[in-house]
Amino acid sequence: MNYAWNAIKKGEELRLTDAIVEDLNINDQNDFLPSPETMELYFSIISSGKDDTDYQLILGPNPGSVGAGKSFGRFLDMVDESVTDKGCCFL
């Protein structure tokens, strides 16, 4: 279950195979906390150029937050109302 830690120690990338995803799957019967309906994940995009379609997504050191829009919401007062008035699924 320590796939990420082992990859970091070895300086290797972690490729999620079907077997690893299955191993990481949580048995809902033993899950005492409800899963969030939405969440945020923070990635860095690594590519040779902005139009490059061959790129890597690198999960950031702070993987995200529980609830889509929670991190961005603190900046809403800085966003023009014409943008926020368009409506969005999580703002």
Give pLDDT tens digits for 10-56: 988 888 899 998 888 876 666 667 777 888 888 889 999 988 889 99
Global pTM? 0.43
CA–CA–CA angle 76, 81, 87 (5° rounding) = 80
Reported in sequence order, the residue ranges of the chain that DSSP labels E, i.e. its strands, are 39-46, 56-66
Q: Hey, how many other C-beta atoms are within 10 angstroms of the C-beta on 68?
A: 19
> Where exactly are the structural domains of the chain?
3-84
Give pLDDT tens digits for 54-68: 999 888 887 777 777
